[in-house]
Amino acid sequence: MSQFRLEVRVKPRPGILDPQGKAIHHALNSLGWEGVDDVHVGKAIYLDLVADDADAAMEAAEAMCRKLLANPVTETFEVSLVEEPVGAES
């Protein structure tokens, strides 16, 4: 077993209202950055987990997203491996 660090990016689905993104977009325009077309606010979640291999770690993280970390009705998610295993667990 090895430890893996994964990054989960959760963001609003296209077409879903994003009040935080709209507020930031308006503020950026007010501050002079008028070239910003749109803003979407999401979240990044970093997981350190122990798994047999990278595929198992990714599969576990995706299951976590489907059950808890992302709302499938309003959000999408992406999981990526940030760090390869740093060592074997005893």
Q: List the CATH number of the domain containing 36.
A: 3.30.1280.10
Q: How far lies 75's CA from each of 8, 22, 48, in Å?
A: 12, 16, 22
Task: Quote the CA–CA distance of 4 and 81 in Å, as a whole number.
Answer: 7
Residue span of the structural domain in which 12 resides: 2-83
The number of residues making up the chain comes to 90
Look at residue 83 in the predicted model and tell me its pLDDT: 75
Q: What is the pTM of this model?
A: 0.81
- For the chain, what is the domain count? 1
Which has more pLDDT, 85 or 81?
A: 81
Q: Give pLDDT tens digits for 8-64.
A: 999 999 999 999 999 999 999 999 999 999 999 999 999 999 999 999 999 999 999
22 lies in some domain: yes
45 lies in some domain: yes
